[in-house]
Chain A
Amino acid sequence: MTSTRREFLVRTGKYLLLTPAAAAAIDNILAGNAATAPAYDMSDHWWGMAIDIEKCIGCGNCVRACKVENDVPVEGPYFRTWVERYHVSYQEPGGEAERITVDSPEGGYNGFPEKYREGDGAKSFFVPKLCNQCSHSPCTQVCPVGATFESPDGAVLVDKAYCMGCRYCVQACPYGCRFIDPRTETVDKCSLCYHRITRGLTTACCEVCPTGARSLGDFKNPKDPIHDFVRLNNVQVLKPQMATGSKTYYSGLDGSVR
C-alpha cells in the first residue's frame, strides 16, 4: 500500500468516524441550553401535580406568576392555569339535588372580589385548574401531525414550531386547558414549566403558592412528598369517567367540582 493511499484511507476513516460524532455534538449544541442537555435524564422522572383544595385561598398568585413565566397574553381568554370559585347549596325544596354556581373572574388573575355572604347555607371553596398532564391524553391522540405529545417523563407538551393551528386538540381536551395563542396562531397550554423542572426548579405556580396548595410531584423520586400526598389523603382526579390518566391529583375535591 502506497503512503498516499494509506493516507487517503486514514483520512477517509477519520471523516467517517468523526462525522457522526461531530454531528452528534452539533446536535447537542443545537439542542439548546448546554446546561440542560446532558444533566437531565428523562427516564429518571415521572411528573405529576398535587393540589390540596383545603389549602387554596384563591389569592391568584399562581395565575399571575404563570402568565409572567410563560409569556401568556394577559388580556383575553387565554390561561395556562386558572382558579375557579365554587358555591354549592344542597337540596332546595322542590329543586335540584345541588345548586352549583362557579365563577372565575379573569381566571382569578386579580383574586376574587367577595360575592357571597357568610351563613347563606352554602359552602364555597377555590379550585385551581391546569393541564392535567394526562398519561392517556385525548389531546395528543387527535393531533394530526404530532405537534403535541407526551414526553417520556410524563409532561404533555406542545411543539410550537410544528403546530398547524387546526384546534382539534382544543376540542378534545375535557378540561378546557388549551387555547390558541393569538400572537402565534398555534396552540398553547400548561407545559408544567418544563424549562424549569428540567433544571431542578419547581413550576412557577408552585413557587409562588403561599399555602402549599399546589406542589409539583415526581413519582420516580422516592423522597418526593407526592407519595405521601396520594397515600395519606383521599385523592381524586377531574372527570375520572373520561379515563384520561390524569396525573393531577386533588385532595379534598368536592363532588360538585366540574
Chain B
Amino acid sequence: MESIVYAVEGFMYPNEMELQWSILIVLYPFITGLVAGAFILASLERVFNVEAVRPTYRLALLTALSFLLVAPLPLQLHLGHPERSFEMYLTPNTSSAMAMFGFVYLWYLMAVLVIEIWLDYRKDIVLMAREKTGLMHWVYRVMALGSDNISPRSLEIDDKVGKFVTVIGIPSAFLLHGYVGFIFGSIKANPWWSTPVMPIVFLFSAIVSGVATVLLMYMFMTWISGKTLDMRCLDTTARYLMYAFIIDFSLELLDLIHRIYESDESFKTLDFMVHTRLYTSQVIVQIVIGTLFPIGLLALVQLVKVSDLARKGIYVLSACLTLVGIFAMRWNVVIGGQLFSKSYLGYTAYKMDFATKEGLLPAVILLLLPFVILWGLVRLLPTTPGEPEEA
C-alpha cells in the first residue's frame, strides 16, 4: 500500500503518512528570522548607541526590507487556496496565532521598516528628487511625498521620530518572528514542537542569522565597491553574533537536556528519530557544523590575537556556517516534527520534489529573490557602506 510509496516504518495514523508542511514552511521562518535579526542589529546602533556598527545601519535596514517583501511568498505558494489568504484580514480567528500574521506583517512592514527607512533616507531622497530628471525625478518626488523640506530642524525631528520608531520596532521585530515560534510551540499534539522555549529559541536563532547575513553583506559590498573595511565595525558585529549564538545554543541545549532527563512518553520515539532519520541534519549539520564550529571560531578570535586577514576569513566562514546551521534548525523543527507518528509508533520520510509548487526549485528561487530586490533597493537608495550618516 502506501507504506511503499510513503516509506513508512512502523505505524502511522493513515492520514499522517503525507507531510503537511514542506520546505516552503522551513523557508518562511528562516526569512522572517533574517528580517528580525537584521533589524535588531540596526537598532543596536540607533537605540543602544553601539557606535561601532553604524556602517552597517542602512544596509541592515535594506536587507531586512528585501527579505520582508519576499516573506509572504513561500506561504502563498504553500496554501491550497492562496486567493483566500485575504480572509486572514477580514475574519481573523482571534484564538489562532497564525491569524495575527497578516496584521503583524503589515504593521512591521509599514509602521516600522518603511517609516524608519524613509526617515533615515529622506534627505537623500529629496536631494535626488532635486537632482534627477524625467521618470526618476517623479519616483523620488513620490517617495518624498512631495516634500522638499530638508532644513536642519526637519531632519532633527526626523531623527527623533526615527528613534521612537526603532524603539517600538524592537518589540515588533520580536513579535514578527516570535509568533512563528509560538505557532509551533503551542501545538500540544506535537511533542517535538510543544515547548515554551520555542518562541525564544526561534527569536535568538533569528538574531543570529540576521547578524550573520548583514555581516556577510557588509563585507561583500565593501569588497565590490573597493572601499576599506571598518575592522572595528566588523569585530563588534562578529562579537554580537557570538553572544547571540551562545545564548541560542544554551537555550536549545537546555531543552534537549530537559527532554532527556524527563524522558516522558514521547522521548523514546523522538530519540530514535534524532538518531536515525534526523541524524545528519540535526547532529552533523545543525549542531556540529552549524553551531559548535562557528561559535568555536568566533570564540577563538576573542581569545587569541589573529591578523586582520585571518579574522576576515574566519568571519566569512563562521557567518556562512551559521546560516547553514540556522537553516538546518528550521528544517529540523518543521520537517522533524512531521517525521514521526503522533501514535509514537512509527516514522515516515519527506519526499522533496524539485520543480513542483512546493519543491526545491521554488525554494531556491525564493531564497535568491531578496538579493535581487536588495540590489534594486541599493541602486535606488544608495547605502555606501562605511560612509557615516551626514548630520
> Do A and B touch, yes or no (CB under 8 Å, in the complex)?
yes
A interface with B by C-beta (< 8 Å): 76-79, 82, 84, 100-107, 129, 138, 141-147, 162-168, 170-180, 184-186, 242, 258
Q: Is the CB of A77 within 8 A of B18?
A: yes
Contact pick for B13, options A141, A166, A175, CB 8 Å? A175
Residues of A contacting B95 in the complex (Cβ-Cβ under 8 angstroms)? 141-142
A103 contact set on B, CB distance < 8 A: 11
List 24 interface pairs A-B (beta carbons < 8 Å), by A numbering.
Answer: A102-B11, A103-B11, A106-B2, A138-B188, A142-B95, A142-B186, A144-B99, A145-B93, A145-B99, A146-B91, A146-B93, A162-B84, A162-B87, A163-B80, A164-B87, A165-B80, A171-B21, A172-B189, A176-B12, A176-B15, A185-B80, A186-B81, A242-B189, A258-B342
Interface residues of B in 1-46 (CB under 8 A from A): 1-2, 6, 11-18, 20-21
A-contacting residues, B76-115, CB 8 Å: 78-82, 84-85, 87-88, 91-93, 95-99, 101
CB-CB nearest in chain B for A80? B15
Closest chain B residue, CB of each to CB of A107: B14
Binding site for A on B (CB under 8 A): 1-2, 6, 11-18, 20-21, 78-82, 84-85, 87-88, 91-93, 95-99, 101, 183, 186-190, 337-338, 341-345
Given contacts A129-B13, A166-B78, A171-B189, list 16 more A-B pairs with CB under 8 A: A77-B6, A82-B13, A104-B14, A106-B14, A138-B187, A142-B96, A142-B98, A142-B187, A143-B96, A144-B99, A165-B79, A166-B98, A168-B98, A174-B342, A177-B15, A258-B342
Nearest CB in chain A: distance from B125 CB, A? 37
B14 CB to closest chain A CB (Å) equals 4
CB <8 Å contact, A258 and B344? yes
**Contact B189 A166, beta carbon cutoff 8 Å:** no
Q: Are B16 and A164 in contact (CB under 8 A)?
A: no
Shortest C-beta distance, B61 to chain A (Å), equals 29
By the criterion CB–CB under 8 Å, are B15 and A77 in contact?
Answer: yes
> Which residues in B have their C-beta under 8 angstroms from that of A170?
15, 20
Which chain B residues lie closer than 8 Å to A171 at the CB level? 20-21, 187, 189-190, 337-338
**Count of A-B contacts judged by CB separation below 8 Å:** 128
Q: Are A185 and B81 in contact (CB under 8 A)?
A: yes
Shortest Cβ distance from B99 into A: residue: A144
Do the beta carbons of A79 and B97 come within 8 Å of each other?
no
Q: Is A166's CB under 8 angstroms from B188's CB?
A: no
A152 to B188, CA, bound (A): 25
Using A164-B79, A171-B187, A186-B80 as known contacts, say yes or no to A79 and B93 having CB atoms under 8 A apart.
no
Residues from chain A with Cβ under 8 Å of B93 in the complex: 143-146
Most buried by B among A101, A179, A242: A179
**B81 near A144: Cβ-Cβ < 8 Å:** no
Interface centre among A144, A146, A171 (most CB of B within 10 A): A144
Residues of B within 8 A of A168 (CB): 96, 98, 183
Residues in chain A near residue B17, CB distance under 8 A: 77
Q: Are B188 and A165 in contact (CB under 8 A)?
A: no
CA–CA, A185 and B357, complex, Å: 13
The chain A residue with its CB closest to the CB of B11 is A102
A164 B96 Cβ-Cβ under 8 A: no
Q: Which residues of A contact B188 (CB under 8 A)?
A: 138, 174, 242
Distance (whole angstroms) from the CB of A184 to the closest CB of chain B: 8
**Closest chain B CB from A146 CB (angstroms):** 5
Complex formed: what's the CA distance from A170 to B92 in Å? 18
Instruction: Give chain B nearest CB distance to A134 CB in angstroms.
Output: 11
